[in-house]
Structure 1
Amino acid sequence: MSHERFYSRVNGPTLYRVNAVRWLDEVAPRHLAGGGDPRHVTEYLLASGWSNHSVPGYPHVLLESPDRRLHFTLEPEEDEFMSSRRVHPAQGHAWSAQFGIHTPVEIIAGFTDAVNSAGPRPEEAELWRLAASRGWTMRLAGRERAALSPDETAYLSRESSLAETPIHRWAVQVSVPLSEKRHRWIWNASIDEAAPPAALTGFIDALTDPTPLLRSEGQEPRHAFGFLDSRRSFVTPEQHRMQHLRRLEAAQRTGTNAPAPAPPLPRPARHKRHR
């Protein structure tokens, strides 16, 4: 199906019509960088053998893992406070992972890239040490622990339900202050602790990673105006597209959800703009 002649975001700029974009920006902190291109997640899953069950004419994406045990859904919600991206077992309700529409796709990919990876369940203390090693401040939330990002706009916590058999989940809330007592909510996410351990670790690793994210010029979200550090990147749109294609090729070769390592992004010393 040809789509190049349509005026639509499906035509790029990240993956296709890269010449329409003059440059890319490196945006930090990453949790305020905006959702980005969902194909960063979906095309990697498809390259890893997931099948597409989306219904033509309806604005959603339905993917199923090769063993038919997991489902990934991406669909718009009328209420942006609700989760628009979900990962869960195809049968039963053992666990779920849910992400708001403004969750950066690179952070979601920390979970989805590793959702089929095997590995031991990490100790809770290991995950807190990972966050602390990257400048997140440890807090107490009642009887539970929590961590606050260095810029104090992202809050990571481990919560438990009040049921007779408590269900533990990891939750993220991202907001920016409007005044002394008011905040603008940006996005939240929750992952049940029963989710695959490698995927949970991958999510927290991607969330707390201080490396900025690449966004097209003008793609930085308005809702985070004044809280972003944006720098012109030395990575060109074409180089960014090639990085994405190499990532897909690695997924096709392995046939698993093991993420391909990406080369470190250069940090420019000029063209700095605060937003």
Structure 2
Amino acid sequence: MAVSPAQLASYTADHGHTIPYDTSPRHLAGPGDPRHVTHALLAAGWRVTSAEGDPRITLTAPTGEHQLRLDPFGSRYWRVDTDDGPWQASFSQTVPAEIIAGFTDRLTGRQQPAGPGPWQRMVEAGWRVDRTPDGTGIAFSPGRRPIRVEHARIRKADPGPSFWRIEVPAAYGGPPVWDIWISQAPEHLVDGLAEQLVTTAPVVRGRWEPAHSAARQTPSRLSPKHVVEAHFTRLDTVHAQTPAQSRTPRMTASPPPPAPNTAPTSPSLHRR
């Protein structure tokens, strides 16, 4: 399933009039646009399998082995389940979409070089890392309001199953700003997540988007047109790098009309 012209036009309408601000650190930037995650999966051939009109959205991989669910009523806003092994991942509502995409992009089968692994990424980024001989450990990002990463065994005496818990603790106690729970996921998926966790580049947000009150914002050098085009380029890249057997055939169609005074859509995007 490709991203439809209507979906692309909707994205253009939403972002074509929003003045972008560089927002950092990214882990305090708020959730951003969930279409950064969902449009990429659609570009890779995933399909919407939830009932029409149901606010709980389900996207299913072409093979049927992975599912992404967005549940606005649940305690875990994002959840990834799989049929190919006993693992799952969940993300609270305010986890930045760019961080979630580090995990979900690896589910598309995209042709990506092997990473150094999550622990090595954190060490190279200057995080405080305390590992134990069994491969588990705890890490903290540098700077204010750090990210806390814990990798532990589900049963301490059992060298088998393990989980990752990643969170941004609240400044003055109480529930964390956001948290991620990953149980027994393959390391290359956690590595993709870690790649986004350690990145210090700012993310783009609107001036008054919710849940970024603790982040710093400065006017971006990007225009609204650049933001829209960057999203469309991302979709083209995901589609091009996804193995043909993992997605639907590329289709061509006329680009959707842009909203007034907004960025034109990318002419090379796959559409149905």
- Partners of 1:25 and 1:215 within 8 A in 2: yes
Aligned match for 1:108, one of 90, 100, 113:
100
Deviation readout 1:181-223 (Å, 9 max, x if unpaired): x245211102223x233221100111111111110121152xx
Q: Which residue of 1 aligns with 2:223?
A: 236
Which position in structure 1 is the counterpart of 2:77?
84
**Is 1:186–2:177 an aligned residue pair?**
yes
CA distance in 2 between partners of 1:253 and 1:128 (Å) = 30
Larger RCO (CA under 8 A, 6+ residues apart): 2
| Pick aligned residue for 2:186 from 182, 190, 196 | 196
Distance 2:5 2:42 in 1: 19
Unaligned stretches of 5+ in structure 1? 5-9, 258-275
C-alpha contact 1:48 1:252 (8 A) present in aligned 2: yes
Q: What is the Cα deviation at residue 169 of structure 1?
A: 1.5
More strand by share: 1
Residue matched to 1:138: 129
Query: Structure 2: which 5+ residue stretches go unaligned?
Result: 247-272
1:20-59 CA deviation, whole Å, 9 max, x = no partner?
32x2111111111111111111111011001111212221
Deviations 1:149-177 (A, max 9, x none): 11243101101112756421121011231
Cα distance in structure 1, aligned partners of 2:43 and 2:195 = 23
Q: Contact 1:134–1:210 at 8 Å: present in 2 too? A: no
Once the two structures are TM-superposed, the CA of residue 119 in structure 1 deviates from its matched residue by: 8.2
Tell me, in whole angstroms, the C-alpha distance in 1 between the residues paired with 2:5 and 2:137. 51
Q: Alpha-carbon deviations, 1:221-257, whole Å to 9, x = none?
A: 2xx53x3221111011110110111111222233349
Q: Is the 8 A contact 1:139 1:148 kept in 2?
A: no
Q: Is the 8 A contact 1:29 1:210 kept in 2?
A: yes
Which of 66, 69, 81 is equivalent to 1:70? 66
* 1:172 paired to 2:166: yes
Q: Matched residues in 2 for 1:55 and 1:105: separation?
A: 24
Residues 1:212 and 2:206 are matched in the alignment: no
Q: Give how far 1:69 is off.
A: 1.0
Partner SS, residue 115 of structure 1:
helix
Please say if 1:35 is aligned against 2:31.
yes
**Percent of counterpart pairs with the same letter?**
26
Could you say what the CA RMSD is over the residues aligned between the two structures, in angstroms?
Answer: 3.1
2:259: which partner in 1? none
| Counterpart for residue 48 of structure 1 | 44
- 3-state DSSP of counterpart to 1:189: strand
Paired AA for residue 109 in structure 1: A
For residues 236 and 146 of structure 1, the distance between their equivalents in structure 2, rounded to whole angstroms, comes to 39
Q: Residue 20 of structure 1 corresponds to which residue in structure 2?
A: 17
Do the aligned partners of residues 77 and 186 (structure 1) sit closer, same or farther apart at CA in structure 2, a change above 3 Å counting? farther
Q: How many residues align?
A: 237
The 8 Å contact of residues 122 and 197 in structure 1, kept in 2 or not, is answered as no
Distance of aligned partners of 1:167 and 1:217 in 2 relative to their CA distance in 1, 3 Å threshold = same
Q: CA 1:212/1:2 → structure 2, altered by over 3 Å: closer, same or farther?
A: closer
| Aligned twin of 2:153 | 160
